[in-house]
Amino acid sequence: MSAAEMISRLLQEYDLSMTEVEVKSQEFITDSIQMDSGNKKPIHDILGSIGYFTDTKVYFNKRMGNYVYNFFGAKKDVEFAGYLFDLLSHAMDNEYAKYQKTAEYKAIGGRTARGSFYKGMIVRLSQRLREMKNSIREEAKSSGLVLYNKMAITEQMFKKENPFLRLRTSTSRITISDNDAFNSGKEAANRVNITSGLGGRKASETMRLGF
């Protein structure tokens, strides 16, 4: 997660260089990512942590039977959220493909191993994102910086630009069928290293990997 942490620190430093009024005057956008399936992908359960890490409002709906994930916030934060969404999606699927070749996977059984492995990755990746965000905030506070509530501003701007949109809270329950597969998923999440997609071009050209 070293690159993601670096980006988050840079974005926070950028925000702290502005007044709250200047933050609100930034361009706020919504970026929508449409999946090619009506079934939830494992990344679905990390959306809340991606939103927390990037200070973006995250919500989903269905279009033509397929899931659509929406990220609202300051343009730079939304681009960062899309970058994380793509990279974590690919990382999870790549780690699962490796896990399928192990003796443990074959011994446990496909469906049980798959579900528990992905849940292990979901839990640990979510923890890492939140731990890093909290660590960055604490470092800023210890340096004597006065932090404003960026997410509160995002929520305020969301209501201003979407006055008639009503959202419902969605929750997911983590049920572990096999502890070994779950722990293997957590170990895989610890190996995830976000290092690609960094550069000077806009997110649509460099950050987004696509499906």
Structure tokens at 180: 């070994």
What are the Cα distances from residue 87, in Å, to 47, 200, 201?
Answer: 13, 18, 17
Q: pLDDT for 72-130, tens place per residue? A: 999 989 999 998 999 899 999 999 999 999 999 999 988 999 999 999 999 999 999 99
Structure tokens at 6: 């670096």
Q: How far apart are CA 115 and CA 190, in angstroms?
A: 18
> pTM score, two decimals?
0.81
Q: What is residue 9's predicted lDDT score, i.e. its pLDDT?
A: 66
Reported as half-sphere exposure (CB side, CA atoms, 13 A), residue 63 has a value of: 9
Bridge partners of 133, per DSSP, are none
End-to-end CA distance of the chain: 21
Q: What is residue 13's predicted lDDT score, i.e. its pLDDT?
A: 65
Q: Is 32 helix (H, G, I), strand (E, B) or coil?
A: strand
Q: What is residue 142's predicted lDDT score, i.e. its pLDDT?
A: 76
Instruction: Identify the H or E element spanning 158.
Output: helix 150-161
Residues of the chain predicted below pLDDT 50: 195-211
